[in-house]
Structure 1
Amino acid sequence: MVIKESLYKLLEKKHLSEITVKELCAQADINRTTFYRNYMDIYDLYEQLEEELTEQAFADGDIQKDRYKLLELIYENQTFYREFFDSRLESRYIKKTIQKMYDEMKQLLINRGTYDEQSFRILYQYNYYGAVGVIHDWVDRGCQESPEEFGNILYGIVEKQYQ
């Protein structure tokens, strides 16, 4: 726990790529052996933290609720996710959630008889990268809107395109 708290403190001052194991160990008041017993490197620690955050928040697997839970998680862990977006890190959870949304939207259009593979793929990528960019901006601005307010606006815009 002290290692994780120390990483959060360091992330308030600098980017993940600038943090060394030596510096983290000094902040946590542990030796390097303790760190390496648990993590391969700083990025492994960061990835494990992200996995812990998302596993706790998304246990039920309801995609409609998960979209808002994701925003709440980001809101509650702004320092962590500011670094996430600034460093362009990958998230297995976000990828998995996006894939679920992709599948649901695709099935919706298939059921309506309006599905076109090429158009859908381009539209979905447009929405995905646009949403990630807008969330990044929200975090950079200090999450001024509540997660619910922000989610209603963001998801409302995206969903209108599939109606």
Structure 2
Amino acid sequence: MSEKMDRRKQYTRMVLKDSLMQLLQTKTLASITIKEICELADINRSTFYAHYANQYELLTSIEEDFTIDLIQTLSQYNFAKEHEALQLTEKLFEFISANSGTCQILLGENSDIHFQKKGMEIAQEYVFKNWMNDQELDQETYEYLNLFIVSGCIYVIKQWLENGKKKSPVEMAGILLKFIKRGLDGMK
């Protein structure tokens, strides 16, 4: 009986998440109502509130699921050197490509900025941390450079997704790292 309840609970959360993601394609999070989510998911409001307090908490849950999957993917690799960053960046683009619909919605204008900030933290932690630490910069300059590079990377990814991923993940990783290297070389 417990397994049946767990499956039912998982199913309910899945349809709620799918419904919110569908609505985010055309509406801002602030303009989406619980009623709309429930109608699309074909569940009642009390069931929604048994799982989430509001649409913001539901979005946070979606973002956390995506982030956990991304971190698990990136954690499989231990690339600490500049030349190894290309391989990790390729894996990042492959993950984004495989999850492009979700990523595009979460990075889109109808979502919230929290996901982009979390993406910046992940990119800094897994892609640029060791590479940029090789630069001889004071802490404040390092923070500005990191913010500049990572936010630029996010917008490159957004543009790549919006343009239909015309270049492969390998090509995009090479382009992105070439931009970054040129920027870091300019800091010397």
* TM-score, length of structure 1 as denominator length: 0.77
**1:31 and 1:66, CA in 2 relative to 1: closer, same or farther beyond 3 A?**
farther
- Of the three residues 104, 113, 119, the one matched with 1:89 is 113
The Cα of 1:24 is off from its aligned counterpart by: 0.5
Query: Is 2:42 the partner of 1:29?
Result: yes
Does residue 98 of structure 2 align to residue 98 of structure 1?
no
Quote the Cα distance in structure 1 between the aligned partners of 2:90 and 2:54.
Answer: 31
The aligned counterpart of 1:49 is: 62
Aligned length: 158
Aligned partner of 1:145 in structure 2 is: 167
> Which residue of 2 is the match for residue 18 of structure 1?
31
TM-score calculated relative to the size of structure 2:
0.69
How much identity, in percent, do the aligned residues show? 28
Can you give the 5+ residue segments of structure 2 that lack an aligned partner in the other structure?
Answer: 1-13, 80-84
Give the drift of 1:131.
1.6
Q: Which moved more, 1:81-90 or 1:32-41?
A: 81-90
Q: Following TM superposition, by how much is the alpha carbon of 1:158 offset from its aligned partner in structure 2, in angstroms?
A: 0.8
Please tell me whether the aligned partners of residues 25 and 105 of structure 2 are also in contact (alpha carbons under 8 angstroms): no
Q: Which residue among 1, 11, 18 is the counterpart of 1:5? A: 18
Is 1:76 paired with 2:102? no
The CA deviation string for residues 18-56 of structure 1, in whole angstroms up to 9 with x for no partner, is: 321110100000011111111122121112112112212
Unaligned runs of 5+ in 1: 110-114
Query: Once superposed, what is the RMSD of the aligned Cα atoms?
Result: 2.6
- The answer to whether the Cα contact below 8 Å between 2:104 and 2:162 also exists between their aligned partners in 1 is yes
After TM superposition, the structure 1 stretch with the greater mean CA deviation from structure 2, 23-32 or 60-69, is 60-69
Change (3 A) 1:28 1:43: same
Letter of the structure 2 residue corresponding to residue 95 of structure 1: E
